[in-house]
A = this chain, B = another copy of it.
């Protein structure tokens, strides 16, 4: 049962059509550079009043179904991970079941899963366990991770965001989730693609993080490198800690080890967190560009997508990297949800299975320099509606005023919705929500 290469077959990504440039926010907040250089964010996506957690989940699943021409009778498990709750009792999964009604499939396992930004990963793990269990009936699993958040204070609002990811899971997948993670994994090992695990554990070629903002990811990667060097050095010193193997410093990126190792010597001066941040980020700058940066296109342009964040990073990586650099490589994924729950796991990109269903990536060596060649990047980079600060603040105020309003019919604003998107048509006196769909065309 356990050698079927279960993993991810297809993705769909949805993000808000409205956005504001972080440079505009900086002008308004009189802090030039703070959001673009400090947080390393370029833009902030913002849902219209017509979008809520149910509508963005309907949109992302509907878009996946359309693109793949998916027969929803083939789906036997559907779970939603979110921390954006309209209803404390009714699950968003049951709202998505309206998409299954037409084909008569009412037999679908799964509900909603909640733990801050970790809910999507929990749903993914539930789906993988279902695929490996005796409950599996041979059908596919569908996992949706989606969230919407805006922050009220000026200090926090540049780090909001919204987004949704749908992931189709099954056997013989092009992205095979590893059944377990070696504790000896290293993110700064010298590249040895497609090599089997050795004393270093699985060689890691790319790293995707939960990404509240880019600067935080850069710091996290630096600290992971520090931990790698500490463990390797510790073993080299014969201290017998939980290291990554004798003489492993030789297997790590030499420049990184050179820059960081002075932090981990027994006689190292104690540095504060900011100094350590700075040294580790500088030491890993090139590796970051190579192994992490390709995953941050959505994160930079949309902001924090919460449960969806990690998985939009994975999609970004796949769309930003030539296929020859992906085949046979291993991706490390770090998921985090406040509260807290977290997990680090990995997946392997299969050598030959088709990647074309993975969110529009072409099975080709077409140049990736022009990101807009890919339809979803094209949508992100050229088809969004930019708000000025006045309309941004007006939209924030509307969302606050209209939160939980009932009865309520939002003003329909097509410029805030992508083709194919579901939107909230009306909320009745009993807070029941009815949705409609913008006419669809493939992005």
Inter-chain contact A133/B133, CB cutoff 8 Å: yes
* Of B83, B113, B119, B179, the contact of A135 (CB 8 Å cutoff): B179
* Of B2, B111, B113, B339, the contact of A341 (CB 8 Å cutoff): B111
Inter-chain contact A91/B115, CB cutoff 8 Å: yes
Residues of B within 8 A of A113 (CB): 111-114
A184 within 8 A of B: no
Number of interface residues of A (CB under 8 A): 38
Inter-chain contact B132/A134, CB cutoff 8 Å: yes
A122 within 8 A of B: yes
Residues of B within 8 A of A179 (CB): 134-135
A151 within 8 A of B: no
* Of B90, B118, B126, B130, the contact of A339 (CB 8 Å cutoff): B90
A145 to B98 CA separation, bound complex (whole angstroms): 27
Number of copies: 2
> Assuming the A-B contacts A1-B1, A90-B338, A338-B89, are A114 and B114 also in contact, with contact meaning beta carbons closer than 8 angstroms in the complex?
yes
Residues of B within 8 A of A115 (CB): 89-91, 93-94, 111-112
Chain B residue at minimum C-beta to C-beta distance from A77: B129
Interface residues of A in 83-107 (CB under 8 A from B): 83-85, 88-91, 93-94
Interface residues of A in 139-172 (CB under 8 A from B): none
* Of B83, B110, B180, the contact of A122 (CB 8 Å cutoff): B110
> Assuming the A-B contacts A89-B116, A111-B118, are A341 and B94 also in contact, with contact meaning beta carbons closer than 8 angstroms in the complex?
yes
A109 to B121 CA separation, bound complex (whole angstroms): 11
A116 to B339 CA separation, bound complex (whole angstroms): 22
**Interface 0/1 of A163-199, CB less than 8 Å to B:** 0000000000000000110000000000000000000
Inter-chain contact B89/A339, CB cutoff 8 Å: yes
A41 to B93 CA separation, bound complex (whole angstroms): 33
Residues of B within 8 A of A339 (CB): 89-91, 94
A310 within 8 A of B: no
Chain B residue at minimum C-beta to C-beta distance from A126: B126
A93 to B339 CA separation, bound complex (whole angstroms): 9
Chain B residue at minimum C-beta to C-beta distance from A1: B1
Q: Identify the A interface with B (CB < 8 A).
A: 1-2, 83-85, 88-91, 93-94, 109-116, 118-119, 122, 125-126, 128-130, 132-135, 179-180, 337-341
Known: A91-B339, A111-B113, A111-B114. 15 other contacts (CB 8 A): A83-B88, A84-B88, A88-B88, A88-B114, A89-B116, A93-B341, A94-B115, A111-B115, A113-B114, A125-B135, A129-B130, A129-B135, A132-B133, A132-B134, A132-B135
- 26 A-B interface contacts by CB (under 8 A): A2-B134, A83-B89, A88-B88, A90-B115, A90-B339, A91-B115, A91-B116, A91-B339, A91-B341, A93-B115, A94-B341, A111-B113, A111-B118, A111-B119, A111-B122, A112-B114, A113-B114, A114-B114, A126-B126, A126-B129, A128-B135, A129-B133, A132-B132, A132-B134, A133-B133, A135-B179
